[in-house]
Amino acid sequence: MLGERQAGIALLKQGFQLIQNSGSLQATALYASMVADHMALAGMREEAIVYSNKALDFYREFGEGNGEAPAHRALALAAAQAPTSDWPTVEHHMNEGIRAARQRGEQPHLAITLFRYGELLRARHDPDAARPKFKEAQRLFAAMRMQWWLEEALRAEANSPL
């Protein structure tokens, strides 16, 4: 996220492959969802969908849900990047990501998902809907002392049209 995105994605994909090859059920969905999330951020829409679905399939099969929230977030980002943006799908996956993060008590995933949702709403020229997402994300980032993310959320809100 700080400039070496392709190298980072390659490392995440390698980590996912190593975990998958090990036969471990722990963190497989999380790794797949993190690959998907970064691919979506890099505009690699189709690959993001593939890895998101791997994470969600793994969750459905084995109940290992650490990757559910970021997988839904990546699917929402991918839907927003579609040639004809599919806003109902964006909203569905963002809300599913928020639900999953709240249900599992995954505060970092909750805050990041709210932040990304706010960004998409801002890009859609809906600052009234974006503002509460940014505010809740800021509160969570501050409480968790996630300073870099807090600064990003403050900057995003400040750049939203009034």
Dump pLDDT digits (tens) for 108-142. Answer: 999 999 999 999 999 999 999 999 999 999 999 99
Q: Computed from CA positions of residues 60, 62, 65, 71, in that sequence, does the dihedral angle turn out positive or negative?
A: negative
86 & 149 share domain: no
Out of 85, 105, 125, a domain closes at 105
* CA-CA-CA-CA dihedral for 133, 147, 103, 130, to nearest 10: 10
Report the number of distinct structural domains present in the chain. Answer: 2
- pLDDT number for residue 2: 57
pLDDT reported for residue 22: 83
Largest CA-CA distance found in the chain, in angstroms, rounded: 51
| 57: pLDDT strictly greater than 80 | yes
Q: Quick one: 70 and 25 in the same domain?
A: yes
Angle ∠(13,83,73) on CA atoms, nearest 5:
45
Q: Which domain holds residue 57?
A: 1-105
Residues 47 and 80 in one domain: yes
Q: Which two tokens stand for residue 61?
A: 């099969």
Indicate if 63 and 87 belong to the same structural domain: yes
Q: What is the pLDDT of residues 151-161, one digit of tens each?
A: 999 998 888 76
Predicted local distance difference test score (pLDDT) of residue 70: 95
Identity of residue 117 = Y
Residue 88 pLDDT > 90, yes or no? yes
Residue 16: pLDDT above 90? no
Mean pLDDT, the chain, rounded, equals 89
